Chain A
Amino acid sequence: MRRRLAFARTPTGMLGLVLLVLVLGIALVGPLFAPHAPDEPIGIPLTRPADGQPLGTDFLGRDVLSRVLWGGRSVLELAGAATLLAYLVGGTIGVFAGYNRRLADGVLMRGVDVMLSVPPLVLLLVLVTGAGTSEAILVVGVALVQAPLVARVVRTATLEQSIRGFVEAAVARGERTTAVLRREILPNIAAPIAADAGLRFTYSILLVASVNFLGLGLQPPAADWALIISENRAGLDLNPYVILVPAVLIAFLTIGLNLVGDAVARTLGRSSAGTVR
Chain B
Amino acid sequence: MSEPALLVRDLRVELESGAAIVEELSFTVATGEIVGLVGESGSGKTTTALALLGYARPGVRIAAGSVEAAGRLIDGRDEGAVRPLRGRLISYVPQDPGNALNPALRVRSAIQDVLDEHAASRPGDVSVERALESVQLPASSTFLRRFPHQLSGGQQQRVTIAMGLACEPPVVVLDEPTTGLDVVTQARVLEEIERLRRERQLTMVYVSHDLAVVAQVADRIAVLYAGRIVEEGPAVEVLTRPRHPYTRGLVASIPDHVNPRRLRSMPGVAVGVGERPPGCAFAPRCAQRRDRCERELPELENVDARHRVRCFEWRETPPLVLEPPPEPALRREPGGALLRVEGLRAEYRSRQEVAVAANDVSFSIEPGGCVALVGESGSGKTTIARCVVGLHEPESGRILLDGAPLPGRASRRSLVARRRIQIVFQNPYDSLNPRHRVADAIARPARILRGLSGGDSRAAVERLLERVRLPVRVAERFPGELSGGERQRVAIARALAANPDLIVCDEITSALDVSVQAAVLELLAELRSELGLALLFISHDLAVVASIADWVLVLEQGVIQDEGPIHQVLSSPRNAYTRRLLDATPRLAV
Contact = CB atoms under 8 A, between A and B. Distances in A.
Instruction: Decide if A and B touch, CB cutoff 8 A.
Output: yes
Contact of B448 (A164, A175, A188): A175
B449 A173 contact: yes
Interface stretch (B48-56, B288-296, B429-437): B429-437
B494 interface: yes
B464 to A, nearest CB: 15
Contact of A166 (B390, B391, B410, B432): B432
Interface string A166-188: 10111111110000000110011
Given A165-B425, A187-B435, A188-B435, A172 B391 contact: yes
B445 interface: yes
Nearest to A160: B430
B423 interface: yes
B433 A173 contact: no
Contacts of A164: 430-431
A173 B431 contact: no
A172 B424 CA distance: 11
Contact of A172 (B390, B426, B427): B390
Which of B389, B418, B427, B433 lies at the interface centre, i.e. has the most chain A CB atoms within 10 A of its CB?
B433
Nearest to A106: B351
Interface in A184-207: 184, 187-188
A165 B385 CA distance: 13
Interface in B511-545: none
Interface string B172-190: 0000000000000000000
A128 B92 CA distance: 63
B494 A169 contact: yes
A173 B411 contact: no
Interface-centre pick from A168, A173, A183, A188 (highest chain B CB count, 10 A): A173
B494 A172 contact: no
Nearest to A186: B435
A159 to B, nearest CB: 14
Interface residues of B, number: 29
B425 A169 contact: yes
Nearest to B419: A173
B276 interface: no
Contact of A168 (B391, B415, B434): B391
B418 A174 contact: yes
A188 B432 CA distance: 12
B498 interface: yes
A169 B413 contact: no
Contact of A169 (B411, B415, B419, B423): B423
B494 A174 contact: no
A174 B422 CA distance: 11
A173 B410 contact: yes
Interface string B290-304: 000000000000000
A171 B411 contact: yes
Given A165-B425, A169-B423, A169-B494, A174 B410 contact: yes
A183 B435 CA distance: 9
B352 to A, nearest CB: 15
Interface string B399-428: 000000000001101010011001101110
Contacts of B411: 171, 174
Nearest to A187: B435
Contacts of A174: 410-411, 413, 415, 418, 448-449
Contacts of B434: 188
Interface string B469-492: 000000000000000000000010
A175 to B, nearest CB: 7
A187 B435 CA distance: 7
B431 A165 contact: yes
Nearest to B351: A106
B448 A171 contact: no
Nearest to B412: A174
Contacts of B435: 187-188
Contacts of A169: 423, 425, 431, 494
A173 B425 contact: no
A172 B434 CA distance: 18
B418 A173 contact: yes
27 contacts: A164-B430, A165-B425, A165-B426, A165-B427, A165-B491, A166-B431, A166-B432, A166-B436, A168-B423, A168-B425, A169-B425, A170-B444, A171-B391, A171-B411, A172-B391, A172-B410, A172-B423, A173-B410, A173-B418, A173-B444, A173-B445, A173-B449, A174-B448, A183-B433, A183-B436, A188-B434, A188-B435
Given A172-B418, A173-B449, 19 more contacts: A165-B426, A165-B430, A165-B431, A166-B432, A166-B433, A169-B425, A169-B431, A171-B410, A171-B411, A172-B410, A172-B423, A173-B419, A173-B444, A174-B411, A174-B415, A174-B418, A183-B433, A187-B433, A188-B434
- Sort A-B residue pairs by CB-CB distance and give the 8 closest, nearest first: A165-B431, A165-B425, A187-B435, A164-B430, A166-B433, A172-B389, A174-B418, A165-B430
